[in-house]
């Protein structure tokens, strides 16, 4: 499951995973309001913090020097889920 919290750490939704879709696509399809603009990992609008389950997230954008992210931050538009056997908890930033 993916647990989504808002910027004040309140749980706003819990959704099932789909390993074939990006996190942003899954959030949008589940009517979770999250900022987004470019859908390519460049603008940073869809950035989220990962509270738990970081090891289960596929994140091809990590450590790009021109767009530094903290270890607990991900771009949901280009991140996905490795498998469906654990829980990921995300906090929206904006």
CATH number of the domain that residue 9 is part of:
3.10.20.30
If you average pLDDT over every residue of the chain, what do you get? 85
The proportion of the chain whose per-residue pLDDT surpasses 90, expressed as a percent, equals 28
- pTM metric for this prediction: 0.85
Going by C-beta distance under 8 Å and a sequence separation of 6 or more, which residues neighbour residue 49? Answer: 72, 73, 90, 91, 93
Write out pLDDT tens, residues 37-81: 888 888 889 999 999 999 899 876 555 566 778 888 999 998 998
Contact yes or no for 67/44 (Cβ under 8 A) = yes
Q: How many domains does the chain have?
A: 1
Q: Which domain holds residue 34?
A: 2-92
| C-beta atoms surrounding 88 within 10 Å | 23
Give which of 79, 62, 71 is closest to 23, Cα–Cα: 79
């Amino acid at each position: 499951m993916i647990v989504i919290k808002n910027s004040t750490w309140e749980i706003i939704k819990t959704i099932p995973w789909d390993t074939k879709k990006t996190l942003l696509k899954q959030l949008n399809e589940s009517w979770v309001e999250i900022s987004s603009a470019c859908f390519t990992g460049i603008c940073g609008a869809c950035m989220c913090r990962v509270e738990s389950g970081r090891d289960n997230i596929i994140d091809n954008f990590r450590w790009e020097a021109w767009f530094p992210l903290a270890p607990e931050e991900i771009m949901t538009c280009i991140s996905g889920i490795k498998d469906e056997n654990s829980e990921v908890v995300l906090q929206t930033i904006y």
